[in-house]
Copies of this chain bind each other. A is one copy, B any other.
Amino acid sequence: MSTIRDVAADAGVSISTVSRTLNNPSYGPLETRKRVLDAARKQGYRPSSIARSMVKGKTGLIALVIPDVRNPFFTDVARGVEDVANKYSHGVILCNTDEDPVKEHNYLEVLRGKIVDGFIIAVASENNRELTKVDRKKCPFVLIDRTCRGVEADTVIINNRKGAYLAVDHLLKLGHKRIGIVTGKRDTLTGRDRFRGYVDAYERHGIPLDDNLIKDGKFSIEGGYEAMQALLNLTEKLTAVFISNNAMSIGCLKAISEHGVRIPDDLAVARFDDSLWAPFFTPPLTVVRQSPYTMGSLASELLFQRIGGSGPPERKEIVLNSELVIRQSSGGMLPPEA
């Protein structure tokens, strides 16, 4: 890899002239300019972004740290983040923690080393302690989707509790008495609040909770599969189920299909998260819809305000709304041709 020095030598000028020529489209006499550009091209020279970042103190990159890169929710968030970042001439690097605090720790370690100008993170667990140590003045960050204990950063989340409430309430109103729930990780805001919404709905309808109907699916496909298995094997059958995210619903659907249980006749189904295929599934899935793209773009805007130093002194928290989309899997809508 050739350096600026090689180019300078080749062009017969000093390194500063090379630097200026390359960074300033209107620098120097055409003759010199051409010599430099030619030398650079000939050597296939690319300035070291590391060296550049070192002196400038910024990298032109932000990071998005997410717990599950295979979850469409987070990749939609990523698209929102990217579009805004591009607007501010920044690139986005994605770091997947796989819901693993160790991987998360490792990435955070690197990121804190100023490899990015700031980052957006959906924590693997709200007990992450690393974040409390990050100096937000020097490396700003914003929390999305999940809050973190003891961290007072800008935040964009949605109203999980209400969303879950809406779905379970819908099921309850349809006459279901035994509604199972496949919960997400309890050490996350989303896992906990969606469960709370479920409890809220039960209380509102004056129906006592049954612990057997509550299974943890850990936000993963496998977890969802196992939780659903357990639910379907209950001696006292359930007639409906609420699943706390899309990944788990894949596992649940598999279990349901294997058990030969029909939706919604034998089991009404509702889940958190809309998805591209949800409307085309048979029967179309009743879901709580959020706006991941919006979440990502708002978070990104917030971050760039901090990076630009124009954010308000106090912490900003945005709570997005979620919306119940009733389709046929919950049995709450008649099939189109019935």
- Spot the interface stretch: A26-34, A40-48, A226-234: A40-48
The CA of A13 and the CA of B54, in the complex, are separated in Å by 25
- Per assembly, the copies of the chain total 2
- Name the CB-closest residue of B to A132: B44
Q: Could you say which residues of chain B place their CB within 8 Å of the CB of A51?
A: 54
A254 interfacial by beta-carbon distance below 8 Å: yes
Query: In chain A between 106 and 130, which residues have their CB closer than 8 angstroms to a CB of chain B?
Result: 106-107, 109-110, 112-115
CA distance A221 to B279 in the complex (A): 15
A317 CA to B280 CA, complexed, in Å? 39
B113 touches A86 (CB 8 A): no
Cα–Cα, bound, A69→B250 (Å): 20
How many residues belonging to A are interface residues under a CB distance threshold of 8 Å? 55
Contact partners of A60 in chain B: CB under 8 A: 110
* Contact B52 A54, beta carbon cutoff 8 Å: no
A130 nearest in chain B by CB position: B46
Stretch at the interface among A90-98, A168-176, A190-198, A297-305: A90-98
Q: Judge whether B280 and A280 touch: CB under 8 Å.
A: no
Residues of B within 8 A of A94 (CB): 69, 93-96
Decide: A95 and B93 in contact? CB cutoff 8 A: yes
Residue on B nearest A221 in the bound complex, by CB: B276
B69 engages A78 (CB within 8 Å): yes
Task: Tell me the bound Cα distance from A61 to B63 in angstroms.
Answer: 13
Stretch at the interface among A133-141, A157-165, A206-214: A133-141
Indicate if A187 sits at the interface (CB-CB under 8 A): no
Within the complex, what minimum Cβ distance (angstroms) separates A115 from chain B? 5
Known: A110-B60, A221-B276, A282-B281. A96 touches B82 (CB 8 A): yes
Nearest opposing residue in chain B for A113, CB measure: B49
- A244 in contact (CB, < 8 A): no
From 215 to 250 in chain A, residues with beta carbon under 8 angstroms from any chain B beta carbon are 221, 250
**A101 interfacial contact with B, CB 8 Å:** no
A236–B216 CA distance with the chains assembled, in angstroms: 53
Contact across chains for A46 and B109 when beta carbons are under 8 A apart:
yes
| Set of chain B residues within 8 Å of A277, measured between Cβ atoms | 250, 253, 277, 281
Contact of A61 among B1, B110, B257, B282 (CB under 8 A): B110
B59 touches A70 (CB 8 A): no
A75 within 8 A of B: yes
Q: How far is the CB of A75 from chain B (nearest CB, A)?
A: 5
**Which B residue sits closest to A250, measured CB to CB?**
B276
What residue of chain B has the Cβ atom nearest to residue A109's Cβ? B46
- Contact call B78/A48, Cβ cutoff below 8 A: no
Give chain A interface residues in 60-102, CB to chain B under 8 Å.
60-61, 63, 69-70, 72, 75-76, 78-79, 82, 86, 91-96, 98
Given contacts A69-B94, A94-B96, A250-B276, 5 further A-B contacts (CB under 8 A): A47-B113, A48-B113, A82-B96, A280-B281, A282-B282
Nearest 6 CB-CB pairs, A to B? A49-B113, A282-B282, A94-B94, A93-B93, A1-B138, A46-B112
A-B contact pairs, 24 of them (CB 8 A): A1-B138, A1-B139, A44-B133, A44-B134, A46-B109, A49-B113, A50-B53, A50-B59, A50-B113, A50-B114, A50-B115, A51-B54, A54-B54, A60-B110, A61-B110, A63-B93, A69-B69, A70-B72, A91-B110, A93-B95, A250-B276, A250-B277, A250-B280, A277-B277
